Amino acid sequence: MEAVLVVNAGSSSVKFQVFDTAQAGNLRRLIKGQMDGIGTRPRLRAVAADERALIDQYYAEKEVADVPAALHAAGKWLRESQKLEPVAVGHRVVHGGPDYDRPVRVNQEVLAHLERYVSLAPLHQPNNLAPIRSLLSRFPDLPQVACFDTAFHRGHSAVADHYAIPERFYEEGVRRYGFHGLSYEYVAERLRDIAPTLASGRVIIAHLGSGASMCALLNGRSVESTMGFTALDGLPMGTRPGQIDPGVLLYLIAEKGMKADAVQDLLYRDSGLKGLSGISNDMRELQANSAPGAKLAVDYFIYRVGLCAGMLAAALGGLDAFVFTAGIGEHSTIVRARIAECLTWLGAVFDPSANESAKSLISRPESRVALYVVPTDEELMIARQTVSLLKPKSARSAGHAAEKFSPT
């Protein structure tokens, strides 16, 4: 069976999915799993397409001490237990910099180029690249494709892309990139199926999860995003602050004596909902907690989403639809209801019953702005991009690569 392995690697977990590519134009999900607790209490879990459990196994801490070891363990299980030999691997890579506006097959040269952007996405990029590096070293003939969160936004105008600093910095790559592009691209495609007329109009998609951002789309193309040079800007997130006056950072360095690495840790790991609440970075825990800090964090999150909606509506010259997606956007009826209240001035008329019933359309018929909930699927988008890029290759050469691949 021809299958594509999709890898989304983080600092303490590796998520993976396997897709059957045998039927042209129709990717079928076979397995969904993850290895989490890497380096502490490693645990491999996976389910089949019908949600049937395939494995739930713990490993010794030293046995899975890092991301490459996690991929090794998961790959061994896929080969030995599921009899699967991937013909290609697609990877989520958060930052593609100014040079990559579409998926790319990775070799050592491309990998070295992508390593230049580690400082722009320190939470994500090193972990995204670790499994690529490991597989390149061990299985150089196995096709690997990097799919970028920044690529979907690369068509922005110069006005939207620039910061008001000397042009030489823009030429060096200091510009507004935008992120969560794989999610936005998938949701934009789904919206064309769900509401084709709206999809060709003025749409805001809110990717609300531990990482959060919003994107303005015109005819399905990104024209503006709340995130910029790094994944710190825009909305408050689980542990990241979102928009912040650069003067605050100068103050922390000059007046508080904080070093650059300490400021980086503060911004990436100790701010956002966690920093505001002093309790947790998890929206579910905060909503269930009556402490003042928890309430402040939730209120702040809702407030900033409302503000950014106004900004993006201005960039579009109006608004036809607002789409919720990602963990919070898909699952929190309370957050959706409160954000919908912030959109009434734009003409949104919320339908509480549809919201509580988990309907896709959660606005009333008279609403001038349609409100939708559309689940995202970044892994499926990565699989599609991987297959599309490698499609010109013959099935024979793909099969040859599969023969050479052994995760053990």
Cβ atoms of 177 and 170 within 8 Å: the answer is no
* Alpha-carbon gap, residue 264 to 310, rounded angstroms: 29
Residues paired with residue 192 on neighbouring β-strands, in sequence order: none
Cβ atoms of 336 and 324 within 8 Å: the answer is yes
| Strand 370-373 with 321-325, pairing | parallel
Q: Is 339 helix (H, G, I), strand (E, B) or coil?
A: helix
Is 149 designated active site? yes
Tokens at 10, concatenated? 């983080």
Question: Which residues have a Cβ under 8 Å from the Cβ of 160 and sit 6 or more positions away?
Answer: 176, 223, 224, 315
Catalytic residue among 20, 50, 149, 261: 149
Question: Which residues have a Cβ under 8 Å from the Cβ of 139 and sit 6 or more positions away?
Answer: 404, 405, 406
Distances (CA, A) of 320 to 142, 202, 363: 44, 5, 12
Catalytic residues: 149
